[in-house]
A and B are shown apart, each in its own frame.
Chain A
Amino acid sequence: DAGVIQSPRHEVTEMGQEVTLRCKPISGHNSLFWYRQTMMRGLELLIYFNNNVPIDDSGMPEDRFSAKMPNASFSTLKIQPSEPRDSAVYFCASSWSPPGQYTGELFFGEGSRLTVL
């Protein structure tokens, strides 16, 4: 079975450019998460969706970041305009979490390494 698929794996761009990261979750999962990982701050939750609806976006750094989940099989994280401090590895993860029960196992993609020059 295919796991969580992220693209691109690597992106190098210049400051001010728009960046779009893509994610295809595991089929049947009801939750999708976007995390950002850096050496300094570790793994930070940016936003998560439940049944395609954004539930908590309190981790989104600022208005330059936006995320969408138009259907159960696709999500995007967009940064516009990008800045050097956005350089990080961005992970998408999905899970099946029964309502009212503890959080299910997160299945992570391989990540998208973003470098903003």
Chain B
Amino acid sequence: TQLLEQSPQFLSIQEGENLTVYCNSSSVFSSLQWYRQEPGEGPVLLVTVVTGGEVKKLKRLTFQFGDARKDSSLHITAAQPGDTGLYLCAGGTAAGNKLTFGGGTRVLVKP
């Protein structure tokens, strides 16, 4: 069974601060996706990374896939209250369409 562990589980910061969320596994994934989920809604895709060492930027969000494709990080610069939500990483395998989700990091950005 492939497991993804996210840390921290919960993060509370002030508006304008930076934060980093980590996603780690002992398994290799062919792709790694990050989703954000808001209360009462389903998760929504933020980014997909597929190449070891890949870095993608989405406005104030920076995503990195580890060289060995076993870990990933999400960094938010100058966080805003609108960044509040549950951030989920999900690993995919080339053998099928199965996505395994991490436990999530709940981020609260206070104004």
Contacts and interface: CB of A to CB of B under 8 A. Distances in A.
Contacts of B104: 42-43
Contact of A43 (B33, B48, B50, B88): B88
B42 interface: yes
A42 B99 contact: no
B35 to A, nearest CB: 8
Contact count band on B: 20 to 34
Contact count band on A: 20 to 34
A56 B48 CA distance: 23
Interface in B37-93: 40-45, 48, 50, 88, 90, 92-93
Interface in A96-111: 97, 100-106, 108-111
A93 interface: yes
B111 interface: no
